[in-house]
Structure 1
């Protein structure tokens, strides 16, 4: 049913933003979308070959060439897939292979692809081979395999072959990471191979927001622009809307994510201009499960401008929440502070350093040695506070012991992180729900994240309650 609905939307040429692609539905979505873009490439190839034949017959008969042969773009690539890791590209290649089976199709350079996008020979994937329950399932599915995020590969599709590692200007499909594509563009100072993209697919957008979102914006800013060079193009064969600079209005975009963020919603609202229209899925969120009888305290600060939000949050945290925490004998020790934004994390750490508080940090830049020292110092009580960045938890997913008080500087993007952190105090013996405190600082601009934690109804009630 999901695949039929997806193909129904895609066959209407509308853009699609699927906002809750789960671990169980990701493969099904990938399969349906691959079938759709292969159908697009096949139809395009047939039309070009048919028009080639018509032009050839006209030349042989010394007749006027047909005029309705506008069937190409400035360059050949028409499908672009943006994915975060080489393992993600591997999954999309598997979907492609399923619809181009041998012996009908010959796959060229398969061995090289398996070598470069799989794990090195003899390497053991610790995530894939770990005992069930050691790591959360979403972490295993995201990070197993080759985790390199700097890559790009062109795929040329013919009637009986699939050629991997084809030249960008001779391929039909490009699979790349935003970083890999950006480095390629900046190296040559041109993005002509993106001038005629007719279908864009962005997978695992929630993971891309945990990387550098600026790379995604950079790629989008270079899509469907007029090329700097001609690349031996036959301009009599170019579709008129490319010549008119209207390619972006005919491009179909498919966005896949596990949840929405302000960045992904902005991308959907501001950059998708498809004249056929666009579709975005919605859902009612249920509140996350937390240990029974555990007291959750959601604290809202006043903010009327998105521009002032980071400053207002920091001011409220340093003048209201932090002084109250330091006055409490219970909360001024064994306290973990979770900070979603990397920029906010730096500000909070600077504040702790300036005030001379007893603290240690776990960030995405922490080495294994730093992590081990920080966990030990916090668990043994040598350090009273533990500052945790969301990116650290996303990439490492360590279980942290010694926590009795949790402070969320903002709600985490991943609602599952909220439940995981609230479960960590109970890793220690004889800890009761009444021994644990939890405070979450939020503003009305945290709606997406708050909704995933408190549920749609709960988040609405929280905002209304504080608006009175």
Structure 2
């Protein structure tokens, strides 16, 4: 109640305050200044009503980009330069490193800068593992530039206030330069190894001896592999594991972590207390556990830049944790935390911070979850950009017939029940009647809930089957694979999360049924290649059925290609 009263008093007095002129060409001041001009009632209403105007443009390496801007927005247009708004002390060392990169990589980094420098949201929908390092480096520069400009503004106003007090002159009123709490950057990641990669990216801009990185040894110890441990993915012969799997799972893959980083002009202080930190690096699970333990999320009240990397991997974890963190961001804090309310930017007091927060989402592919996040949770009045690409069809063995079966469903709510009904009344009975397809059949199931449902149905029907799920132990996996390969079990049920985490090759498959198309198109091609692990198997010996609905567009686009998926969607249910 006390905090709310303070906020109300500040709202009443702020209308009489003088406003310091801002530099309109500086992206930070233009977007996050105390009296930013882009946050009008008209623009906010446009965001809430989803009145976005869209336009398409093309970047040399990032490809096609769709820009969505709310009506009335005065945001800065993309600038195709890596120097746009970057402080000189950060820009010059970066230019030196960038000059050593191949031209195509320099251009890619500049495309990233062009999209994010003006503080518009970026939804990069086909982020490449091969370019992940230079992508992190570019975004890290943007992050450090943001923190440095914020800190510089605070220190400048501290000097003005100190000078006024010392010389007994009127205290300046145009010193609104802070949020409710100090953290302004949140980086959400799936694994500890990801956090280590992001720290390395930050450190490229803070090299010794100019900078000190405090507690670095502890960070590498807690976020790297235990001493003496051998990373079988990193040390395996090339080709043993798919490249994307190696990049995702090498290193420490613990998914519960959180760490604060305090940034000064000459140092990065790792493991700083959250309310003394500028940057928070965390997993959704680790952050949620912290919020629930402390019973508040005040340290997320003033986040100005959100980065979510490897979002496709986050969808394979518990997406509810991501939704929970998003729901806690930019809310009014429950406690004051020794805040000087005379320094808080007015739009924080009005609870408009979510309209200015920049979100940068990086994912290898789109899912309904990531698209929904982009459409409904990102309200940046400066606008948002999303990358687009035309997907080619995946390559499968020649002469292998793919049977795509469209599910008759017009309601997303009813889709799981309709899919289950179609599978159990149409597809499975036909398989059981076939002497060929009633054995050596693998059923790939994307959803964990659907997996449990189908497993219970198989058990109820007393069918001969075994399972490979994300909860299977190494011993369970060995027994299941052997039972299926030897023919002891006629069916094997495989969850997508099992394949995501384990990536085992499964021998003995002659018939494939995709209960739903996989999120990752590589999984589709891998399963279609498994029958040919065995000798003397011809494409004509293999059957493949894919059950899909109109709500599987993203998945089907990556499998059948953009044009092919469009044709499949138009043909309608059989």
Task: Tell me the TM-score normalised to structure 1 length.
Answer: 0.99
C-alpha distance in structure 1 between counterparts of 2:505 and 2:481, whole Å: 10
C-alpha distance in structure 2 between counterparts of 1:393 and 1:10, whole Å: 34
C-alpha distance in structure 2 between counterparts of 1:339 and 1:8, whole Å: 40
Alignment partner of 1:135 is 2:236 = no
Q: Once superposed, which parts of structure 1, at least 4 consecutive aligned residues long, lie more than 6 Å away?
A: none
Residue number in structure 2 paired with 1:298: 404
**1:64-109 CA distances to partner (integer Å, 9 max, x unpaired)?**
1111100000000000000000000000000001000110101110
Find the residue that maps to 2:130 and give its secondary structure: coil
Alignment partner of 1:237 is 2:343 = yes
Alignment partner of 1:183 is 2:289 = yes
Find the residue that maps to 2:388 and give its secondary structure: coil
1:101 aligned to which of 187, 207, 227: 207
Residue number in structure 1 paired with 2:313: 207
C-alpha distance in structure 1 between counterparts of 2:315 and 2:570, whole Å: 29
Alignment of 1:166-315 (within 5 A): 166-315=272-421
C-alpha distance in structure 2 between counterparts of 1:2 and 1:396, whole Å: 32
Residue number in structure 2 paired with 1:451: 557
Alignment partner of 1:71 is 2:177 = yes
| 8 A Cα contact 2:405 2:546, kept in partner | yes
Q: CA RMSD in A?
A: 0.8
**1:32-78 CA distances to partner (integer Å, 9 max, x unpaired)?**
10000100001111110000000000001111111110000000000
C-alpha distance in structure 2 between counterparts of 1:392 and 1:106, whole Å: 42
Residue number in structure 2 paired with 1:374: 480
Alignment of 1:429-468 (within 5 A): 429-466=535-572
Gaps of 5+ in 2: 1-106
Find the residue that maps to 1:440 and give its secondary structure: strand
1:86 aligned to which of 185, 192, 215: 192
Alignment of 1:149-168 (within 5 A): 149-168=255-274
Question: Could you say if the C-alpha distance between residues 446 and 214 of structure 1 is closer, same or farther in structure 2, counting changes exceeding 3 Å?
Answer: same
Residue number in structure 1 paired with 2:91: none
Residue number in structure 1 paired with 2:82: none
Residue number in structure 2 paired with 1:48: 154
Find the residue that maps to 1:463 and give its secondary structure: helix
Alignment partner of 1:126 is 2:126 = no
C-alpha distance in structure 2 between counterparts of 1:428 and 1:235, whole Å: 70
2:513 aligned to which of 382, 407, 411: 407
Q: How far apart are residue 221 of structure 1 and its match? A: 0.3
1:21 aligned to which of 122, 127, 135: 127
Q: How far apart are residue 466 of structure 1 and its match? A: 2.2
Residue number in structure 2 paired with 1:35: 141
C-alpha distance in structure 2 between counterparts of 1:400 and 1:20, whole Å: 28
Residue number in structure 2 paired with 1:416: 522
| 8 A Cα contact 2:556 2:565, kept in partner | yes
| 8 A Cα contact 2:468 2:492, kept in partner | yes
C-alpha distance in structure 1 between counterparts of 2:516 and 2:307, whole Å: 30
**1:430-465 CA distances to partner (integer Å, 9 max, x unpaired)?**
000000000000011100000000000000011112
Residue number in structure 1 paired with 2:61: none
Gaps of 5+ in 1: none
Total equivalences in the alignment: 468
Task: Tell me the TM-score normalised to structure 2 length.
Answer: 0.81
C-alpha distance in structure 2 between counterparts of 1:228 and 1:466, whole Å: 52
C-alpha distance in structure 2 between counterparts of 1:396 and 1:248, whole Å: 38
**1:266-291 CA distances to partner (integer Å, 9 max, x unpaired)?**
00000000110111111100000101
| 8 A Cα contact 2:310 2:363, kept in partner | yes
